[in-house]
Amino acid sequence: MNTANDTGKVQGKRRGCLGRVAVGLLVFLIIALAAGAIYQAVASASDLKRYPPPGELYDVGDYRLHLYCTGEGSPTVVLDAGAASSELSWYLVQKEVAGFTRVCAYDRAGFGWSDPASGPLLPAQVAEDLHKLLTAADVPGPYILVGHSAGGFYIRAYAGQHPSEVVGMVLVDAVHEGEEAAYPAQYVRMRNSARAMMPLCSITSPIGFVRALRLSDFSGVAVPAEVREAYLSTVYRNAFCPAMVNEMEAVSTFLSQPDIPRSLGDLPLTVLSAGAAYDRASEAEVAAMGGPEVVAQTAQIHDEFQEKLAGLSSQGKLIVATESGHIIPVDQPDVVIDAIREMVEQLRGT
């Protein structure tokens, strides 16, 4: 009786079986990844046919940016969206502002219909992109710059680089450079944990995983319902997730080295602050932020820094959108429209 030989044969059969299973799983994975990539490519092409860019794409050097202008008159209003958002976030605002002056919204690199950049772009670089875009599209100044959230960094950078072109500014619940460092540690940890998950989006998006499970459905907070599907068609593009990761990295780098914001002198400035930024948080969200006391402290810090933004200009004024969360252009677009209208009339002397 040769027990050793029998045992060796059994082990060999097991290894062979496991090897076939491993090969089978590998083949299945390759087929699944290929199918996912094909699904993503076909669906993206279909989306582009259903929802073509409403504006035009212009070459700014290494890529093209999408610009959508409507209305007539001067000064021209230029709208800059919040982080990881597109010109569609201004949909309700733009269609009304176009009734009394020219207004242009654009997509930063990688968002909306714009081509992606090769890496993170700091505010100064984003501002220079915008300047090249407006020049390429032959949109002359003077400009009233309107920036939401992180868009406030970009338009203030633009005003610093091209002050003669800017005659007014509206900051819509914009971020102050010193704000992040002032927030409670629990709140910052919660935000950092959420940001740490973003790179997964870049890995799974090209194989259709994000699209199939609608994991990037930010439409409920970022854009009006009327343009929800058009917005999602841009969110599920392969360029979106890397652009979002790059922007978060650039903003984090910028905020990790806070500086005193540049004075805006006597530039007409209106700061619109969200009066209900944290009022709508669920119990789970409040718990994740560190509890009611931390939320109340965070809200107070937010309000204090909005006042500091208004103090950047001797003509600065603060308006609180009492019924709005952070996304004021969607929650209370009339507040934004009225602020822009008032500034246009002031500059026209009417």
Q: What is the DSSP string of 67-87?
A: EEEE---SSEEEEE--TT--G
**Nearest-angstrom CA–CA distance, 37 and 33:** 6
Predicted local distance difference test score (pLDDT) of residue 10:
45
Tens digit of each residue's pLDDT, the chain (350 residues)? 555 555 554 455 555 565 666 666 666 567 756 666 787 777 778 888 899 999 999 999 999 999 999 999 999 999 999 998 999 999 999 999 999 999 999 999 999 999 999 999 999 999 999 999 999 999 999 999 999 999 999 999 999 999 999 999 999 999 998 888 888 888 777 777 767 677 778 788 777 677 777 766 544 456 888 898 899 899 899 899 899 999 988 888 887 766 668 899 999 999 999 998 777 666 777 777 778 888 888 889 999 999 999 999 999 999 999 999 999 999 999 999 999 999 999 999 97
**Helix/strand/coil (H/E/C) assignment for every residue in 231-292:** HHHHHCCCCHHHHHHHHHHHHHHHHCCCCCCCCCECCCEEEEEECCCCCCCCHHHHHHHCCH
Q: Which helix (H) or strand (E) holds 94?
A: helix 91-97
Predicted local distance difference test score (pLDDT) of residue 213:
72
- How deeply is 318 buried, as exposed, middle or buried, from its count of CB atoms within 10 A (0-12, 13-18, 19+)? middle
Predicted local distance difference test score (pLDDT) of residue 16:
57
Predicted local distance difference test score (pLDDT) of residue 262:
85
Q: Check residue 265 and give left, alpha or beta (phi > 0: left; psi -120 to 50: alpha).
A: left
SS3 assignment, position 140:
coil
Q: Which helix (H) or strand (E) holds 41?
A: helix 3-50
The vertex-250 CA angle with 169 and 81, nearest 5°, equals 35
Tokens 């927030």 belong to 183
φ, ψ (nearest 5 deg) of residue 168: -170, 160
CATH of domain 56-348: 3.40.50.1820
Predicted local distance difference test score (pLDDT) of residue 220:
44
- How deeply is 48 buried, as exposed, middle or buried, from its count of CB atoms within 10 A (0-12, 13-18, 19+)? middle
Predicted local distance difference test score (pLDDT) of residue 5:
54
